Structure 1
């Protein structure tokens, strides 16, 4: 049975908070965790929260972020106290200025309250779902002992510290620490092995792919050249990277108690500039295969394999990446080993039909097995290319 069909939607979580009401802070004992519900939808982890007594709002949980975020219009509506300005950056390589506001109190999942919470105000329309009010950063996991039970959609927070060990395996090489001299919350790190090579990775529930390597690590991996790939845009806080990345398959992955064959890995172009001093990110599709716990005192992460099954990273089954040059729809990349390469489509070919970029993108990103046709121009000459979309990686 598909596990995802058994889970509540993020809207159901909000309705549950409305019906549940808030548990006053301090009613739980030291040895008892506070529990809240979460869901995974659209390859993101969602919780509901009330801000300064507001109606329930949906938040994305991103353990790769050092700061919380809130839509500016919501901060204005709630009349949150302005604290100053800040800036954010990410894989896009650029920084953006933000405002900083403070909420008197947030109540997460109807169960856990935290006072005097800071948010960066940021235009969440840039790559975030419309119903996301904001984003919670890593501090909710790295300031207190917590458990994420992915199989049951339960988040346990131990306000006064956990008694005893979590279940599973303690990752001896894990750490909970600040990123260099950057401000914000501490984040979680662990070492994995891809094809026998070690990589120091951030544990990032906000990353929608299973594995993501930054430029220097991508170059060191030997995975960027010489094998089938699907072109992929790379974006996040800091905008979009200048060069396309690649989605490939490695031969094997080892992380704690988990061993996977032929995992998907997203690679940044080695020619890009990296802002980070670690190698990459472990994303939500891989994290969710475990029940994960943080042990804040010694700064360690625990993993216990759950019953959820691995899912494939999404990639375009045509192998094409399209963009605009003036009014022309241009082929910007053709994946090695892809149906588009087999059909003879080349970089800088112009797509004449479909004539609207969104229509063309929808056509080339259909399901495997679908036959499609594109009308192209190359050096002023028209031709038609037919291809069958395929799971070619």
Structure 2
């Protein structure tokens, strides 16, 4: 949480410009070093910084230790009701979440970002033999009335970093760096002398989305109050820490088995918070989360106003709350932190009322096995975890909280996140879709709502995919969707795709964070077809009716004349109250093409009827062609 807020709080110092004809990258960087202490920096081996942290309406403190000679770092922070840490051990970044969960971040994008962060922290631009980087040509730019000399650098094995030197004040006052689909801009000020060195004591970091918008909920401010030079450091200071012992299984076997309900490919389990019954969606792609109403129900006080992003395009408010205990079966987490987020219409989307999610915190603490065919979730103490019989093993990387696996999709290498909280089978991220021309390759259908999550509806272009290869398994004929937008988690360039419940229900799935392994044991559904909606309707539960939230262009529903806002009362002569929303969705996927359904509905308070003739929106199977037709 804190490292990206310290993008370059150190070594971003003054320079005295040479005559215009003499200014080049080397001159700018050397002048920077000379003006900030010159050769004194050659004797600086380490720095310790302490100060204040402000973010999302919360206040706190941080302490950062930097090993400049080995480009290692560690930051410990407190922010409102939470505390955590993150660091870089010279090879990998790592984080310790507010709940105490520890992750070594070894996904490729995470490693590149950590390397660039280390390069800035260790003044790699001054010590180019020690920390090589490539530099672009020096250019000038005017922003907000200030003229800058601008240098773009790419550290070896890192990502580009752009440094802005203010030509009036002769200081490096701005750093710009990509952070997923966002741009992080850090502004630096308030330079002060310390032991002959000059350091900026104040920084503000803001994130800008693809549309160029910033959000005050994502603004972070740091003030350095104390600096110590050449403090003693050891390898242990920067090593990945051990997790605190706050989790247990309350039986001698060390394993608990919990029945679950599968609705819309989502896993729902019963549990408890502080001894009170709770209903959770189980989501590897999420965190321990409660709705505001649930937080109030459990008597938890939420603090702060940060921003949360999910599959939807809107960012929503996020607050933080502590509970005494969360329990799922006989698995217990003590002193858990919950993220409190308004999930909007999710109850109506699901047709199931839930208090929130259990996610990464549970998966990180226990070995997890999900028997989709048997409807049983098993949680095991790490030393008691046993992979499912007949399972195929697949190593995974970790980027932030999610497991990331590698495979092949119709001849293309892909890296995909593992997300039991997704109803879809496989969602392809927009940068990957554009890079490989997949809308045309897969003859994708027109854009429509294909999912719903934090931030609202997720729109995509459905398509029949060919063969997904994972862990030596061939998974054919997946009904996928192609995201083409620029917002939300599916716009991230860090991975190519997101694997969801539509694929996982073919298996007994197990995840073991202790050994970084995922296991897939095919079940009886492995060879079954992957059906896709044949109606074109996206329906929300609403009392005694189903509300039409979206109608896919050119679909059966569009031909029948349905419009968003219509309220369906009966389908095929059955009142919609006779089945769950999940059951109606299943019928609209699985009833044969050509099935005629009489629909009774209301529009603007007036009763009406229509005849819906089900039709495929995507092909029954993908047939590659030499020349794909233009995208629709």
TM-score strictly above 0.5: yes
Paired residues for 1:142-181 under 5 Å: 142-162=364-384, 167=389, 168-172=391-395, 174-175=396-397, 177-179=398-400
CA contact (8 A) 1:189 1:202 kept: yes
CA distance in 2, matches of 1:72, 1:84: 13
Offset of residue 321 of structure 1? 8.5
Offset of residue 137 of structure 1? 1.5
1:222 matched to 2:437: yes
Q: After the TM superposition, which of the residue ranges 230-239 and 95-104 deviates more from structure 2?
A: 230-239
CA distance in 2, matches of 1:223, 1:292: 28
Offset of residue 232 of structure 1? 2.5
1:120 matched to 2:345: no
CA distance in 2, matches of 1:34, 1:112: 7
CA contact (8 A) 1:289 1:306 kept: yes
1:107 matched to 2:327: yes
Q: How many residues align?
A: 328
Match in the other structure for 1:197: 412
CA contact (8 A) 2:368 2:379 kept: yes
CA contact (8 A) 2:283 2:357 kept: yes
| 4+ long deviations beyond 6 Å | 329-332, 360-363
Q: 1:285 aligns with which of 498, 502, 515?
A: 502
Q: 1:304 aligns with which of 505, 518, 521?
A: 521
How has the CA–CA distance of structure 1 residues 292 and 149 changed in structure 2, closer, same or farther, with 3 Å as cutoff? Answer: same
How has the CA–CA distance of structure 1 residues 121 and 299 changed in structure 2, closer, same or farther, with 3 Å as cutoff? Answer: same
Offset of residue 170 of structure 1? 1.6
Match in the other structure for 2:237: none
CA distance in 2, matches of 1:192, 1:249: 18
Match in the other structure for 1:28: 251
CA contact (8 A) 1:216 1:270 kept: no
Q: Secondary structure at the match of 1:161?
A: helix
TM-score, normalised to structure 2's length? 0.46
Unaligned runs of 5+ in 2: 1-246, 540-547, 573-584, 600-609, 619-632
Q: Secondary structure at the match of 1:224?
A: helix
Q: Secondary structure at the match of 2:503?
A: helix
Q: Secondary structure at the match of 1:285?
A: helix
Q: Secondary structure at the match of 1:106?
A: strand
Q: Secondary structure at the match of 2:354?
A: coil
TM-score, normalised to structure 1's length? 0.71
How has the CA–CA distance of structure 1 residues 80 and 390 changed in structure 2, closer, same or farther, with 3 Å as cutoff? Answer: same
Unaligned runs of 5+ in 1: 1-23, 180-185, 323-328, 346-350, 375-384
CA RMSD of aligned residues (A): 3.7
Paired residues for 1:81-96 under 5 Å: 81-96=301-316
Q: Secondary structure at the match of 1:225?
A: helix
How has the CA–CA distance of structure 1 residues 76 and 356 changed in structure 2, closer, same or farther, with 3 Å as cutoff? Answer: closer
Match in the other structure for 1:263: 478
Offset of residue 26 of structure 1? 5.9
How has the CA–CA distance of structure 1 residues 57 and 198 changed in structure 2, closer, same or farther, with 3 Å as cutoff? Answer: same
Match in the other structure for 1:253: 468
**Which has the higher Rg, Structure 1 or Structure 2?**
2
